[in-house]
Amino acid sequence: MNGKQRMIRLTKELLNPIGFAGLVWKNLVCLRWRRYLRSRGVVTRGDVIIKGKPVILRMTGNIYIGNNVTLRSDDRGYHASVYAPTRLMTDTREDALIEIGDDTRINGASIHATEKIIIGRGCLIAANVTIVDSDGHGIYPSERSLSNPVSKPVVIEDNVWIGMNSIILKGVRIGRNSVIGAGSVVTKSIPPDCVAAGNPAMVVKVLDSESEKAIQQATRPAKGFRPIIS
């Protein structure tokens, strides 16, 4: 919606008593949520659309939210069940960072940054997605009691769609325009312009011819490689 369209809409609402009351209520709600985010140390870079109260656990570090970002924490008006509120958590490291780009929509997702999680612009993150940049605990018995012993940044580029109930693990980079199928577990980086699905997630479809060439080259056997035929 451009500036002229917003002005026309605003004029219509002001001329309509019910519309005017709705506009006042909308701004009061917006102010309330903005104060809530600010009280939790979240830096907003424009309007944030909040549907249901999100959980913000900022131990240290920083959380930056871009303009026109939606944080949904209930499933009213949504096509799927949202099992828990949207959760943004930065851990005890002082440089821990969550950054969410403009026009991104997050629906009941849990995002926990020990080091860094960057989400680009125009992304769609469906219900009950989990994004973490660490294992949470050590995998070896001697390290099991340690919290977040290894972390690697997660980057989700612009215009990525992550299907509901998916899990994005540490060190993953998802290329722009890509789609992650519902229920996937993403353990390795996904190239741009493709669809990936499964556990572990693998590319199942290419959306762009240039990306298809790059994937074919990456998966082509090395020179001198001879497959074993039984």
15-34 confidence digits (pLDDT tens): 676 665 655 655 556 677 78
pTM: 0.78
Q: How confident is the model at residue 227 (pLDDT cuts 50, 70, 90)?
A: very low
Element (H, E) at 23: helix 17-39
CA dihedral in degrees (123, 133, 166, 218; nearest 10)?
A: 80
Please report the domains of the chain, with CATH numbers, ordered by start residue: 1-39 (no CATH), 42-219 (2.160.10.10)
Asked whether residue 183 carries a pLDDT value surpassing 50, the answer given is yes
Q: What is the pLDDT of residue 143?
A: 81
The pLDDT tens digits for 41-79 are 899 998 899 998 999 999 889 999 999 999 999 888 888
Distance between first and last Cα of the chain: 62
Do strands 194-197 and 202-206 pair parallel, antiparallel, or not at all (unpaired)? antiparallel
